Structures are given as C-alpha cells and as structure tokens.
C-alpha cells in the first residue's frame, strides 16, 4: 500500500550538461601535430617554460573556481532550491513522491537513543501497532540515496550543524542525532556538551560526536524574531510585542556553521499571539492592525536580510523547512484520531499561505537557500502523530510526530542533498586535474 501525492511544480537547481562528441579513431600524425601545436613544449628558454606553465595553471584554477561558483552558487541565486543533483547532473524534486512500505525501517530504536525525548517515543508510551514505522518516502522521478549512518558521519566530519526553530525543529534535531548514532562504535563518545538532559525547557542544546569532531546543535526560536515587553503607552491588551524588524538576539550564535536548518510557523496563530496579548512592532511603531500573514512575511524578510548579511554562503548551506501539517479532528484541537495507515489523500491543516510567503521570500534572496518542502509529505501521515501516546499521557497531540517517524524522512533528504552535492564537486575535479597535467607537461 502506498499513499500517493499529487504532482506539483517546484524550483530546482540545474547544472549544465555537455561533453565533446567522439573523435575519429584514425588521425594522421600531421593532423595530430596541427591539432595539438598549442600545448607542445616550447623551444624557448626555461623562463618561457615557467611563464607558460604558470599561465596554464592559473587558467586551470580560474576555470575550476568559476565552474564551482556557477553550479553551486549562481544557479541557485534568485530561486528556490527544492531538490538535489544526481549523477547525470539532472535536478530532481525529491518532494514529489509517495510513501511506500519498507520492512527495513525504522532506521533506529528511540529507546536505545538517549537523545530522543520520551514524549516522542510512542512505542515506549504504550502504542502497540508498529505499522507506522514501516514507511519510506520515495521520490516519483528519481531514487534518493539510501541513508547510511557511517557515510553521513564521514561527510559531516569536522562540521557544525545547527537547527533553529520551534519544537518541530527540536524533533528533527533529535531524529538527526539518533540516525547518526547508528554509525557510532562507542555511544559514550556522543554527549551533550553541557551534560544537559534533552528538554524543551532548555533553549540551546548541543550534542558532540567526539570521534568525528562533529557538533549538532539546536536553538529554540519559535518566531525567529525578537519578543519584547510592550512599549510605553501601549494599550493594556498589549502584554508583549514581536519586533518584526529584528532577528532573535541569539542569532549571533547561529553563524559559523556548516549546515543551518530553520523552521517557524506553528506559533504564528491568533491563539498564541493576540489571545496571549502579543502584538507586532516595527521600530518604535506598534502594528496593531497587522494580520498574522503580513507579520509572518515581514519577519521572514528580516530573516532573509540577516542570512544575506551574516551567513558565509561559501561555507554554510542554509535550509528552511516548510510548515508540517497537523491532523486534529476539530478546530479546537481537542479531538485527535490517529489512523493505523497513511491516508490515501493529502489531509490536515497545511497552512499553505505560509508556504507561499516563504517561497516568495526565498525566491528573492541573492544567495541560495534550500527549501525543504515537506508539507505535502506530512499531509498523508495521519498515522504518525503522537496522539494519545505522549508523555505525560494526559497530553493529546496531533501536531508532533512519533520518533522514529516522519522527521527521519526530512533528514534523509537533507543527507541526500549534502551527499549528492559533495559528489558533484568530486565530479568537477578531473577538469582541474586535466588542466594542471597540461601545465606539468609544459614544464617538463
């Protein structure tokens, strides 16, 4: 059984294709001399040889750097990157696909991963059916590389990975760590740097993989922008404000990372804002009449400006994950009916307006950002929410996901993107090597 998704458009990064056609197998010696006269060793002085060698080596370096910048930077500029580049240099939208049964899943056991919160471990909290664990996301038009923990750890050796967002981001962070733990020989070499227990009450958590010099961090920032006390002379109903023009004051800690993954959205509701006395502010001006959608756009534009100014795009790959659907059976979020299997059609509250705003903002950025368009993926998984199996069990939850579960699929796509782009860089190396070899021949 598989839960199919409808096809939809998306932006992707494309890389140029090409190659020289095959030449004739029979070429005369004279023709060969005429064809390659330009790289034959010069008959001049050794100084001339050194100059020519230096020139060709410089050309090789410039061409290699230019090709790198073209493929990895400028092709992503001004568009949403929503897939990965495969072996044939074709871009694939990995978010257009379906859930297929796979008996080899899940990828880990939450009860054996000390970094998975008890509240997301549905099996430990009494869920008896295990079918929800046996589904894999399969892109429609390509095959995403299967996840291998050891390969992922090697790819991330010496790196710093940072997740920023709300509790959904924390769930993805926990999933990311547990997936990597499967490739660690000694679990004792993996630890929270401040020896903290994993908890939603701690704003910054960092797990160290000592054997691979890798750190995976989480920063809680549910709005991404600053929350302040109300300004003077504000109406009594205003208890706090969101400064739509200022990014969170802990944002300075997000820089100097190699992978940076953002999310926001679940707190952008009238219930969690206006009913709690939280309104919007820009500069010294209160925005009492500003809608949630308009404020969401302003906040994302502030985030985009910060990324463009503060993030080194030559080092850091930036991802932004879209809104994850919930499957409450009523508008008051008091009835949660978790199904046994994925639904055959997309259901749930997907906040599609947030997705549209996010795509608009990212499209207008002048550095590449990879949009993790997971909204439709989650819309079929009414079977994978925490539901009644929370901790403590009195909390009903049709928003968050069980672990293992749906967040693992998000991370599989992140790993796929990092691995395939790394392979593309390796594919470009022969161009540099070939040109450098020419210069060595000249110099000999």
Question: CATH no. for residue 185?
Answer: 3.40.50.1110
| CB of 171 closer than 8 Å to CB of 120 | yes
DSSP code of residue 19: -
Q: How far is CA 394 from CA 46, 74, 176, 337, 443, in A?
A: 84, 51, 27, 15, 77
| Domain annotation covers residue 49 | no
pLDDT tens profile 367-378: 999 999 999 999
Per-residue pLDDT averaged across 74-92, rounded? 48
Global pTM reads 0.78
45-79 residues labelled b (16+ CB within 10 A) or e (exposed) = eeeebeebbeebbeebeeebeebeeebbeebbeeb
Using CA atoms, how far apart are residues 36 and 47, in angstroms rounded to an integer? Answer: 22
Q: How many Cα neighbours within 13 Å face the side chain of 318?
A: 26
- Report H helices in 156-232: 167-181
pLDDT tens profile 50-65: 667 667 666 666 665 5
pLDDT tens profile 406-421: 999 999 999 988 887 6
- Closest C-alpha to 377, from 97, 174, 127, 107: 97
| Domain annotation covers residue 28 | no
Kindly report the number of other CB atoms within 10 A of residue 235's CB atom: 10
| Domain annotation covers residue 15 | no
Q: What is the pLDDT of residue 53?
A: 65
Count up the domains in the chain and report the number.
1
Using CA atoms, how far apart are residues 433 and 378, in angstroms rounded to an integer? Answer: 44
What domain range includes position 113? 92-422
359-375 residues labelled b (16+ CB within 10 A) or e (exposed) = bebbeebebbbbbbbbb
φ/ψ of residue 280, rounded to 5: -105, 150
Kindly report the number of other CB atoms within 10 A of residue 332's CB atom: 8
Q: What is the pLDDT of residue 79?
A: 41
Q: How confident is the model at residue 93 (pLDDT cuts 50, 70, 90)?
A: confident
Q: How many Cα neighbours within 13 Å face the side chain of 120?
A: 30
Using CA atoms, how far apart are residues 164 and 204, in angstroms rounded to an integer? Answer: 9
Q: How confident is the model at residue 90 (pLDDT cuts 50, 70, 90)?
A: low
Residue 31 pLDDT more than 60?
A: no
| Domain annotation covers residue 199 | yes
424-444 residues labelled b (16+ CB within 10 A) or e (exposed) = beeebeeebeebeebbeebee
| Domain annotation covers residue 266 | yes
């Amino acid at each position: 059984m598989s839960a199919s998704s409808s096809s939809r458009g998306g932006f992707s990064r494309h890389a140029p294709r090409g190659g020289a056609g095959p030449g004739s197998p029979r070429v005369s010696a004279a023709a060969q001399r005429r064809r390659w006269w330009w790289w034959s060793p010069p008959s001049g002085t050794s100084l001339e040889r050194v100059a020519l060698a230096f020139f060709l080596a410089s050309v090789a370096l410039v061409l290699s750097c230019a090709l790198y910048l073209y493929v990895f930077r400028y092709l992503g500029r001004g568009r949403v990157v929503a897939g990965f580049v495969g072996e044939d240099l074709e871009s694939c939208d990995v978010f257009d696909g379906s859930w297929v049964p796979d008996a080899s899943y899940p990828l880990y056991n939450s009860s054996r991963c000390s970094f998975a919160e008890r509240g997301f471990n549905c099996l430990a909290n009494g869920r008896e059916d295990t079918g929800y664990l046996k589904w894999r996301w399969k892109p429609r038009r390509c095959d995403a590389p299967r996840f291998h923990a050891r390969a992922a750890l090697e790819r991330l050796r010496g790196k710093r990975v940072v997740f920023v967002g709300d509790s959904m981001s924390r769930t993805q962070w926990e999933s990311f760590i547990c997936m990597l733990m499967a490739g660690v020989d000694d679990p004792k070499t993996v630890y929270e740097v401040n020896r903290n227990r994993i908890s939603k009450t701690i704003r910054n958590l960092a797990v160290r993989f000592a054997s691979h010099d890798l750190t995976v961090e989480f920063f809680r920032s549910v709005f991404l922008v600053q929350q302040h006390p109300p300004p003077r002379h504000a109406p009594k109903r205003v208890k706090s404000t969101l400064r739509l023009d200022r990014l969170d004051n802990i944002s300075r800690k997000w820089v100097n990372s190699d992978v940076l993954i953002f999310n926001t959205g679940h707190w952008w509701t009238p219930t969690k804002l206006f009913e709690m006395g939280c309104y919007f502010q820009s500069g010294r001006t209160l925005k009492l009449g500003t809608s949630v959608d308009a404020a969401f756009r302003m906040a994302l534009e502030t985030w985009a400006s910060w990324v463009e100014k503060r993030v080194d795009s030559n080092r850091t790959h930036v991802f932004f994950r879209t809104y994850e659907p919930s499957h409450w059976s009523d508008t008051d979020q008091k009835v949660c009916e978790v199904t046994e299997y994925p639904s055959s059609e997309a259901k749930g509250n997907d906040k599609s307006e947030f997705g549209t705003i996010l795509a608009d903002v990212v499209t207008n950025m002048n550095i590449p950002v990879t949009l993790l368009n997971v909204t439709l993926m989650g819309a079929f998984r009414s079977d994978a929410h925490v539901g009644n199996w929370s901790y403590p069990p009195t909390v009903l939850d049709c928003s968050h996901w069980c672990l293992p579960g749906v967040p693992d699929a998000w991370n599989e796509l992140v790993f796929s993107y990092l691995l395939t782009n790394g392979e593309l860089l390796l594919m470009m190396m022969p161009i540099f090597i070939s040109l450098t070899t020419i210069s060595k021949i000249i110099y000999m």
